[in-house]
Chain A
Amino acid sequence: MGVTRRDFLKASAAATAFAAVGASALNPLKAGIAEAADDGIKWDKAPCRYCGVGCSVLVGVKGGKIVATKGDPAGPVNRGLNCVKGYFLSKALYGKDRLTTPLIRKNGKMVPASWDEALDLIASKFKDSIAKNGPNSVAMYGSGQWTVLEGYTAVKLFKGGIGTNNVDPNARLCMASAVGAFMNTFGSDEPMGCYDDLDLGDTYILWGANMAEAHPVLYSRMIDNRLKHPNVKIIDLGTRWTRTSQQADEYIPFKPHGDLAAINAIIHVILRDKLYDQAFIDKNTVFKRGTENAPYGLKDKESFDDVAKPLTFEQYKELMKPLTPEWAEKICGIPAKKLVELAHIYGDKTRKINSLWTMGVNQHVRGTWVNNLLYNLHLLTGKIGRPGENPLSLTGQPSACGTAREVGTFGHRLPADMVVMNPKHREITEKIWGIPAGRISPKPGPHATEMFRAVDRGDIKCIWIQCTNPYQSLPNLNRYRKAGDKPGTYAKKNDAFIVVSDIYPTRSTEMADVILPSASWVEKEGVFGNTERRTQHWFKMVEPPGQAKNDTWQLIELAKRLGHGGLFPYKHFDKEMFEEYRQFTIGTGKDLAPYETYYKVRGLRWPVINGKETRWRYAEGHDPKVTKGVGVEFYKAPNKKASIWFRPYEPPAESPDMEYPLWLCTGRLLEHWHTATMTGRVPELKRAMPEAVIEIHPEDAKKLGIKSRDQVRVSSRRGSIVMTAELNGRGKPEKGSTFVAFFDETKMINELCIDAFCPISKEPDFKKCAIKIQKV
């Protein structure tokens, strides 16, 4: 599988002309030179394996092993820089306990098996379940770390072959709220701006985003901008003082969930003090009100419809009148005066404003609403779709955009923003896939939380998990498993058949009936899509260890055994499949380039039209889909108008009370990535950050008689764990709040998290639940 270097060299001559037309990061490969290095190390390019920033790294291979990785000086995202995780990438795949052979659970023990034995077992379980209980009794849980074609294979097999929409990615836990708001505001997913805005803007307002640790290379790019341009201001709004706050020009603390009130109050002042851009509003926007008193997702199978009612600008202004800075101050704790000041910064016509956010806004029981409100700030002031001033939701995974969103690996989605509920979208998809009309089910599949609830209830009998670790990363974990025989171990709760493909033993392989060893990163060919719409390709550079195989091969082997092998008839697999997938994007404004184009460039930002990438969508002079003479045009939205939504304040799902008096917020830190299955096996990273601790405010600690480094029991209504307390450490939560990073598989803080979610995006709120702490 995959294109060999010789195939590639032949193809590259043809593709050179294409890339040369517009790729600003143009770099036609001359393989001969790269292979001539005298230290015997062969270098090639790949996007980093970890986060959504999408840094380009140079990978050095010698003797069939990755021996070094470096920040790629020609990489337009990172310009030679990496964060510490990227520098030590070469060690991430070489942990001692790498999975190298399929394993099958027999009498409670995992026993080595052949691929045929493992795949035949999976196929028989799937067939059996489909025959007895229908196609909706099987499911696939995928990943924003899947390559584009891995996600595409899964969607095609499940939606186009098996006939179920039971496919959802871990990206549901990560940026579904951003998706929800992109769709209901602009009619098309993914940002209008790009990372160039980090160099070209002068005001950066961070909403609950610890960029210095979670998106370090982008943070450095912003700091560089400030070093060169002293008028650049970075304002960090957060519930916790972080390394980001340390280097920001201003830190403004707010109470958890206070963003919903604060942004409304800022909008109130923008309207009150006439800081808005009337001409921009008239030409480009409409006003809407959605369904309020929305639920929190705490009941199984809860359904919710956000029904839009049109508003006039006058009606909208009326509705916003009670949401004053004084009202908001009581909820969010930001002084009214400061909120007025922020409104005047957003409204300052001499300032190029960027709003940046990530999980603080997206993992929120009103996440789609907060995204909507942030867009309102930019739409009302007209600071959008222009170089240097845009809102940007920062993504967490390397291909949450490229795979989960663009390919559409969600329960309700199809490629290129299409949905299974729309008969026309199903028809287009069935045509490209060459499958009979009516094969794709119109019923959306369950979102991640509901999918695992369905496994727990016994509605889903077989689930295959690839490239992610849900039994550490889902909220309210204790619902889904029970204690194992030995302390610190876990076991399945019911007889659901669970398959897990991964590269190391994890908390999820612990639940599995079959474990499949996967190839990772440059052990296979692949494509990732990053936060700024940049599609990046890499070649296979080394062989996977032992019998490990890539996830696409695993899925197609199941497809063959289920009689759906005909869906994947490709000879030159990656190229032919990508070209098939690309048909979905052509003419939609999400256009991708021919596959070979990506061989040579350090990625291209879609839409790629006439060979040129697009830096700013909807902007005349940058996006060729925009009508001449109009400036900005939201051409994907109904009537080309973006929606300004009225979204009031509604409380969190759970707040501290007498019994559980403190807030718990979870998140990431610099050294480890997500559940640390890779970074936890890199000695330098493990030594720098060996365990998760609970950060407590010194005054709260004093009341409880807790000193730094004391062992404490942390409990919520859902679980209880013992860990080390830290006072005045790297992060400093505000009084009444605590923080725990979720990477540590020996201290699974997600057992305590509430499984409440945004009713529109279905993204859980990992940032807010009530806990108590006792000294052990």
Chain B
Amino acid sequence: MRSIIRLLTVLCLSAALVLPLLANADETPVNYAADAAKTGGDPPTVPHRMKEGDTGKSCLACHEKGLNKAPETSHPQRLDCVQCHVQGEIKK
């Protein structure tokens, strides 16, 4: 009898532990499509010459505000621009 009570206690405790977690888990479902919509895809390549030694600051000189017909960046806080934007075809 005692062992049955012990077993029941264990079962109840495990259920009590697991159920709220399941409920909690359901509140934050994974939605890969929604995640993908939050973020950009292929970073545009650079259609003009870049000088070696140019820094994020050199890029932001035009791209922060969109001066000289440069596209304005959506992410001026990312300073290592060339990590994603590599030299592309140079338009003459």
Interface residues of A (CB under 8 A from B): 16-17, 19-21, 26-30, 33-34, 36-37, 41-45, 58, 60, 68-74, 80-84, 87-88, 212, 216-217, 219-220, 223-224, 227, 243, 246-247, 600, 670-671, 684-685, 687-689, 728-730
Q: What are 29 A-B pairs at a CB distance below 8 A?
A: A20-B21, A20-B22, A27-B28, A28-B26, A30-B29, A30-B30, A37-B33, A42-B33, A43-B32, A43-B35, A60-B36, A68-B36, A69-B41, A72-B35, A73-B38, A80-B39, A84-B85, A88-B42, A220-B78, A246-B53, A247-B56, A247-B79, A247-B80, A670-B82, A671-B86, A684-B45, A687-B45, A688-B45, A729-B52
Chain B min CB distance to A541 (Å) = 11
Within 8 A of A (CB), among B1-48: 18, 21-22, 24-26, 28-36, 38-43, 45
B47-61 vs A: 1/0 string, CB under 8 Å?
A: 000001101100000
Residues of chain B lying within 8 A (CB to CB) of residue A72? 35, 39
Task: State the Cβ distance, B2 to closest chain A Cβ, in Å.
Answer: 27
What A residues does B86 contact at CB under 8 A?
84, 670-671, 684-685, 688-689
Known: A43-B36, A70-B36. 13 other contacts (CB 8 A): A29-B29, A33-B30, A69-B41, A70-B40, A72-B35, A73-B35, A74-B35, A84-B85, A87-B42, A87-B43, A220-B83, A223-B79, A247-B80
For B29, what are the chain A residues with a Cβ–Cβ distance below 8 Å? 27-30, 33
Question: Which residues on the A side are within 8 Å of B83 (C-beta)?
Answer: 83-84, 212, 216-217, 219-220, 670
Check B80–A58 contact: CB distance below 8 A. no
Q: Are A33 and B33 in contact (CB under 8 A)?
A: yes
- Tell whether, in the assembled complex, residue A68 and residue B41 are in contact, meaning their CB atoms are under 8 Å apart: yes
Q: How far is the CB of B88 from chain A (nearest CB, A)?
A: 7
- Complex Cα–Cα for A90 and B71 (A): 25
Q: Are the C-beta atoms of A29 and B30 separated by less than 8 Å?
A: yes
Interface of A is mostly: mixed
A664 to B87, CA, bound (A): 27
Minimal beta-carbon separation of A150 from chain B (angstroms): 25
Which of B22, B32, B78, B86 counts the most A-chain CB atoms under 10 A from its CB?
B32
B74 at the interface (CB under 8 A from A): no
Q: Do A27 and B80 form a contact, CB below 8 Å, given A84-B86, A728-B52?
A: no
B77 contacts the other chain (Cβ, under 8 Å)?
yes
Contact A58 B36 (CB under 8 A): yes
Q: Could you tell me the distance between the alpha carbons of A74 and B56 in the complex, rounded to whole angstroms?
A: 26
Beyond A70-B40, A688-B45, whether A730 also contacts B52 by CB under 8 A is yes
Chain B nearest Cβ from A675, distance in angstroms? 19
Verify A87–B84 contact, CB threshold 8 A.
yes
Closest 7 CB pairs of A and B: A688-B86, A43-B32, A37-B33, A20-B21, A30-B29, A27-B30, A216-B83
Please determine whether A223 and B80 come into contact, CB atoms closer than 8 angstroms: yes
Chain B residues near A27 (CB-CB < 8 A): 28-30
Contact A16 B79, beta carbon cutoff 8 Å? no
Interface residues of B (CB under 8 A from A): 18, 21-22, 24-26, 28-36, 38-43, 45, 52-53, 55-56, 77-80, 82-89
With contacts A20-B21, A729-B52 taken as known, whether A33 is within 8 angstroms of B31 at the C-beta atoms is yes
With A20-B25, A220-B78 known to touch, is A34 a contact of B85 (CB < 8 Å)? no
- Once the chains are docked, how many angstroms separate the CA of A458 from the CA of B36? 53
Q: Which residues of B contact A19 (CB under 8 A)?
A: 25
Minimum CB–CB distance for A458 against chain B, Å: 45
Say how far A539's CB is from chain B's closest CB, in angstroms: 11
A34-B33 contact, Cβ under 8 Å, with A70-B40, A247-B79, A729-B52: yes
Check if B41 sits within 8 Å of A81, measured CB to CB: no
Cβ-closest chain A residue relative to B23:
A20
Q: Is the CB of A21 within 8 A of B87?
A: no
State whether B32 touches A28 (Cβ < 8 A).
Answer: no
The answer on a CB contact under 8 Å between A246 and B84 is: no
In the bound complex, how far is the Cα of B82 from the Cα of A219, in angstroms? 12
- Please measure, in the bound complex, the distance between the C-alpha atom of A454 and the C-alpha atom of B20, giving whole angstroms: 60
In the bound complex, residues from chain B placing their C-beta under 8 Å from that of A212 are 80, 83
Q: What distance in Å separates the Cβ of B79 from its nearest Cβ neighbour in chain A? A: 6
Q: Knowing A72-B35, A87-B84 touch, does A28 contact B30 (C-beta < 8 A)?
A: yes
Task: Name the residue of chain B whose CB is nearest to the CB of A688.
Answer: B86
On whether the beta carbons of A83 and B84 are closer than 8 Å, the reply is yes
Q: In the assembled complex, which residues on chain A have CB atoms less than 8 Å from the CB atom of B41?
A: 68-70, 87
CA distance A74 to B83 in the complex (A): 20
Q: Which among B21, B22, B83 has the highest number of chain A CB atoms within 10 Å?
A: B83
Shortest CB–CB separation between residue B14 and chain A, in angstroms? Answer: 9
Among A44, A223, A671, A687, point to the contact of B32 (Cβ < 8 A). Answer: A44
- Cβ contact within 8 Å between A227 and B79: yes
Q: How far is the CB of A309 from chain B (nearest CB, A)?
A: 46
Q: CB < 8 Å: which of A33, A227, A246, A687 contacts B88?
A: A687
Contacts of B45 in A (CB 8 A): 684, 687-688
Residues of chain A contacted by B80 (CB below 8 angstroms): 212, 216, 219-220, 223, 243, 247
| B87/A687 in contact, CB under 8 A | yes
List the A side residues contacting B55 at CB < 8 Å: 246-247
Residues of B within 8 A of A33 (CB): 29-31, 33-34
* A243 neighbours in B (Cβ, 8 Å): 80, 82
**Given B24, B28, B33, B77, which contacts A227 in the complex, CB threshold below 8 Å?**
B77
Which of A30, A41, A84: most chain B Cβ within 10 A? A84
Q: Is the CB–CB distance between A26 and B28 below 8 Å?
A: yes
Q: What residue of chain A has the Cβ atom nearest to residue B40's Cβ? A: A70
Within the complex, the shortest CB–CB distance from B20 to chain A, in Å, comes to 9
- Contacts of A688 on B, CB cut-off 8 Å? 45, 86-88
Q: Give the complex CA separation of A42 and B34 in angstroms.
A: 11
Instruction: Return A335 CB to nearest CB of chain B, in Å.
Output: 25
Q: How far is the CA of A687 from the CA of B39 in the complex (A)?
A: 25
Bound Cα distance A465, B29 (Å)? 41
Taken together as a complex, chains A and B put the C-alpha atoms of A68 and B39 apart, in Å, by 12
Q: Report A72 CB to chain B, min CB distance, Å.
A: 6
Asked if A80 and B79 sit within 8 Å, CB to CB, the answer is: no
Q: Is the CB of A36 within 8 A of B33?
A: yes
